[in-house]
Amino acid sequence: MKQYIQQGLAVLGIELGSTRIKAVLIGEDHAPIASGDHTWENRLENGVWTYHLDDVWAGIQDAYANMVADVKAKYGVELTRLAAFGVSAMMHGYLPFDKDGKQICEFRTWRNTMTGEAAAELTDLLGFNIPQRWSIAHLYQAMLGGEAHVKDIDHLTTLAGYVHWQLSGKKVLGVGEASGMFPIDSDKCDYDQKMIDLVDSLAAVKGYEWKLRGILPEVQCAGDDAGVMTAEGAKLLDPTGKLEAGALMAPPEGDAGTGMAATNAVAVRTGNVSAGTSVFAMIVLEKMLSKVYPEIDMVTTPTGKPVAMVHCNNCTSDLNAWANVLQGFTKAAGKDMTPGEIFPVLFNAAMEADKDCGGVVNVNYLSGEPVTGLEEGRPMIARLPGMAFTFANFARSLVYGAIVTLKLGMDILGGEKVQIDSLLGHGGFFKTPGVGQQVLADALNVPISTMETAGEGGPYGMALLAAFRLNKEENETLEDYLDNKVFADAKTVTLMADEADVEGFNRFLKTYVASLEMEKAAIQALKEE
């Protein structure tokens, strides 16, 4: 491995998640050989969930440096060359730039729920569900609001697209990421031209001179030529100047697409659940859904196949907040456990609880939740006074609360008779062996599988897409590459739903749905000054 790294043959994937930036380096057999990460958090400024671009680069550089240090510690060599590289990030959002490359508005992330009017109008106009977090919804909302910066937009992109642009000089997006900006024509692996024309007409009426195709990134499929890392890009990634330019760049993807790659869920009738700061399920469809559902995003795989995406804004953020509270308790008690030590205790305690959490209900809405029609969130624990409020029931309510909204969205796909041959879980929610996986199996009443790389998630998937860009043979599909060269000998663990736990979760679900009326009241009653 030492020689492999020194020869510059290793492949890197970096993903900018909502709470963590992680770099994963893979070797010849596609297995992770080193990693590094950086913890960060979004800011709520002037009512907008955002990140500063200075924080983006500080985080990327720190994650990369930590990965380089990991290489040095494990193999005794300095990483100075990469064969291929890819960057992914949280999907959606709004990052506009003028003709000079200057950012002209704060980065508006997927978490914002300020585009209700625009999303509704576009959905009606296009006959296609446009969720609030999509880039086009943010653009049109800014148009409706008469925001001054709109007329000056020269380039509109996502976080992944921005970082790729700075590292390579190319304004491109992988089709999976692009499908969270604007609807895609899967047959052409490109934006839907008829819908482009409709939005251009709206823009023209409002007096804007730009055309959508002129400001949106070029769409690419997995394996396409997305440029190479420039000398300037190499210095941005590694300010020490040790990293050489020239690594082949894969089309930048979103966390949905990288999750599909990381779990080998890019073929029809496969699916995956990514559970971290947000939770979403991606199901690759045999055919389009019968109608438009506001709870279901229609996006694509990294190769452009249609995907039904059930996306919930809230998953582990409230769990993380409670872990911090429990850490404070342990510190006060003289134990000072880390969150990494607390989570296994919390998750394992959940498995000892009453099947329905004993009547304890957790609504984990740190932000708004489109699936249940709420534009704001107020995290809440509720119970009847006589219920068994034990640590185990409390813990189980937190774990159930993280994925219960996903269940509501998945029930819609069940009504559409969508067939799923396999469903794989990945992300931080699955790190404690057997707990998150079992809870999800019980919630959805389907078998859930995980791989050894489940905790690596998106950055590992991005590294695989970069490897495909590097190694793709003529006429080789991504599905074949993953099946035959990556996951042929992969070890998976599959857990089946437990009948008693399914019944218990359904009782919890009933209580949870009823408690949303309390959540609505809390939103009205508790306002920020």
CA distances in angstroms from 448 to 35, 52, 307, 311, listed in the order given: 26, 37, 19, 18
Q: What is the CATH number of the domain that holds 224?
A: 3.30.420
Segment 354-378 shows an average pLDDT of 93
Query: How many structural domains does the chain have?
Result: 3
Q: Whole-prediction pTM value? A: 0.82
Segment 484-505 shows an average pLDDT of 93
Segment 163-182 shows an average pLDDT of 98
CA–CA distance, 385 with 335 (Å, rounded to integer) = 31
DSSP track, 378-392: --EEE--TTS---HH
Q: State the pLDDT confidence band at 482, using cuts at 50, 70 and 90.
A: very high
Instruction: Report yes or no on 482 lying in a domain.
Output: no
Specify the amino acid at residue 122.
Answer: L
Percent of the chain having pLDDT more than 90?
81
pLDDT at 57 (0 to 100)? 98
Instruction: Report yes or no on 483 lying in a domain.
Output: no
Residues 464 and 365 in one domain: no
Output the average pLDDT for the chain: 94
For the stretch 24-36, pLDDT in tens is 999 999 999 999 9
The DSSP output letter for 188 is T
Instruction: Report yes or no on 176 lying in a domain.
Output: no
Residues 21 and 43 in one domain: yes
Q: What is the CATH number of the domain that holds 194?
A: 3.30.420.40
Question: Cβ(159)–Cβ(106) under 8 Å?
Answer: no
The DSSP output letter for 482 is I
Q: Does residue 453 carry a pLDDT above 70?
A: no
Instruction: Report yes or no on 384 lying in a domain.
Output: yes
Residues 502 and 382 in one domain: yes
For the stretch 113-158, pLDDT in tens is 899 999 999 999 999 999 999 999 999 999 999 999 999 999 999 9
Domain that holds residue 76: 1-90+219-263+457-474
Residues 143 and 195 in one domain: yes
Residues 300 and 367 in one domain: yes
CA–CA distance, 434 with 493 (Å, rounded to integer) = 9
Instruction: Report yes or no on 347 lying in a domain.
Output: yes
Residues 430 and 320 in one domain: yes
Residues 344 and 402 in one domain: yes
Nearest to 405 by CA among 378, 374, 437, 430: 374
Segment 489-496 shows an average pLDDT of 89
Q: Does residue 308 carry a pLDDT above 60?
A: yes
Instruction: Report yes or no on 380 lying in a domain.
Output: yes
Report residue 468 as tokens.
Answer: 């495909």
pLDDT at 231 (0 to 100)? 98
Segment 463-485 shows an average pLDDT of 96
Residues 319 and 446 in one domain: yes
Residues 438 and 367 in one domain: yes
Instruction: Report yes or no on 484 lying in a domain.
Output: no
Q: State the pLDDT confidence band at 370, using cuts at 50, 70 and 90.
A: confident
Q: Does residue 457 carry a pLDDT above 80?
A: no
Q: State the pLDDT confidence band at 69, using cuts at 50, 70 and 90.
A: very high
For the stretch 236-262, pLDDT in tens is 999 999 999 999 999 999 988 998 898
Residues 438 and 512 in one domain: yes
Residues 281 and 142 in one domain: no
H runs (alpha helix) in 76-152: 116-126, 135-144
Q: Does residue 499 carry a pLDDT above 70?
A: yes
Instruction: Report yes or no on 383 lying in a domain.
Output: yes
pLDDT at 454 (0 to 100)? 53
Residues 407 and 503 in one domain: yes
